[in-house]
Structure 1
């Protein structure tokens, strides 16, 4: 059982949902980024890091700006791996990364996964490679014992979903809304229906991302059947304004507070 799978099993046994913060590695600088991550892992179950990239198609303005800050500070693929190694000196938290295909190709697919495993990465999501084209990525992921993570959107066809469910490991990343990343104030009923529908079709943990900003939103998705809440843009906004700040700790407490009193509602069906 992978580090990711063990963590979700533990979270499920405790009757709660996982808090999964996301930040761009190296934003605004490698040093500040590491300090921010130390704050986050203190209350998180899993950590997601974005490899900074100049053309992040799945991301909205907040993450795009974070990518630019990290790149301007000299962040590279090599330095992301070094950052993960630094995290591993103080935490065994499961780490997944979101990385665009061009960055993987630049390293060579197998070399990228080898270095990812060596650094201490547990799961890899390549958002611009559909499952139909992911065979070489999945081959290297398997060879290096890394969980391949896939996005599932409300527009994902039944045929594609079937393929994703066959190949995904660790967890499914459910996209809560149509469009790009970014904190939102509300979600439609179709989002909770979508979560419940996917939950009923798989035993794989389902983590919801794109737009979660508040404890109430995370609770709502948990009651619909989500096993994890991925919170990114709202945290990155604080980093953009304040860098490594106590406000990050205060803000994320609302999600860490899901850790004890919250018992997840059973998914329909």
Structure 2
């Protein structure tokens, strides 16, 4: 299934697409795969986090998950194996969220080819301004990977016009100026931000950072084509709560009201 098909299927059901997040190696290798099995029935697209020691865009919940995965010994080869295992379970799009340092340390061509061969659909690169290294982005595309970059409420029209064309999977729209984390309410102005982005690209636009409930999911669905849920899932697992009710509640919020 292509990324566009996944978003279109959700739209045909009258809702925004749901993009849950799992961290490779969290809480351990077997536990991460079990979380995937529980998440997949709700997911249109799946985001897989690559554990990293300096996740500057992530809040404390995802930082803890990343640290735990690293303490468990999760390394790049283990993340590749995890992607292979997840791909064996589903044909849904799989996006690996990685900071740029592991890409550079491995070598871009080697990194991109390895993840494409493992079954990844694309990459989310939160700390790479794509116009700073368009040749690197081109290498990802040449390897057969889609790319997703972040835009924020502070992004000017000029900046949106630069970044959006580099997004070939979807545009990841940050709902707030800050790090990841569950919030009670999303800021005003998201519909206007998404519309500004859509003037520069035809790929779907998803909102992340703060999706944690039916109400925040509904706010995202009124503005965008999809919503990412991350911290709320990991927090539920940390607290020993089942993640399925969280996913169900968010998914219900993504259904759009049809005017009579």
Q: TM-score, normalised by structure 1?
A: 0.90
Which position in structure 1 is the counterpart of 2:174? 175
CA contact (8 A) 2:216 2:253 kept: no
Question: What's the CA shift for 1:15?
Answer: 2.5
Q: Tell me the equivalent position of 1:70.
A: 69
User: Matched residue of 2:239: which SS?
Assistant: helix
- CA shift, 1:196, in A, is 3.8
C-alpha deviation, 1:179, in angstroms: 0.5
Q: Structure 1: where are the runs of 5+ without partners?
A: none
Aligned to 2:109: 110
Q: 1:141 maps to which residue?
A: 140
Secondary structure of the structure 2 residue equivalent to 1:173: strand
Q: Is 1:233 aligned to residue 231 of structure 2?
A: yes
Q: Which structure is richer in relative contact order (CA contacts within 8 A, separation 6 or more)?
A: 1
Query: Are the counterparts in 1 of residues 51 and 66 from structure 2 also a CA contact under 8 Å?
Result: yes
Separation in 1 of the partners of 2:172 and 2:32?
A: 24
- CA offset at residue 264 of structure 1? 6.0
Question: Post-superposition shift, 1:265?
Answer: 6.8
Structure 1 residue 263 and structure 2 residue 256: aligned?
yes
Counterpart in 2 of 1:124? 123
The match for 1:253 is: 248
Q: 1:226-256 CA deviation, whole Å, 9 max, x = no partner?
A: 11010000001122233xx6x1112211233
Q: What's the offset of the Cα at 1:168? A: 1.2
Check conservation: 2:112, 2:143, Cα contact below 8 A: yes
Q: Residues 3-36 of structure 1, C-alpha deviation per residue, up to 9 Å, x if partnerless?
A: 2122112222332110111121111111101100
Contact 2:157 2:196 in 1 (8 A): no
Secondary structure at the aligned position of 1:195 is classed as helix
In structure 1, how many angstroms separate the alpha carbons of the residues matched to 2:3 and 2:136?
18
Moved runs in structure 1, 4+ residues, more than 4 A? Answer: none
Distance 1:89 1:188 in 2: 38
Equivalent residue number for residue 11 of structure 1: 10
Q: Which runs of 5+ in 2 are unaligned?
A: none
Q: Aligned residue pairs: how many?
A: 259
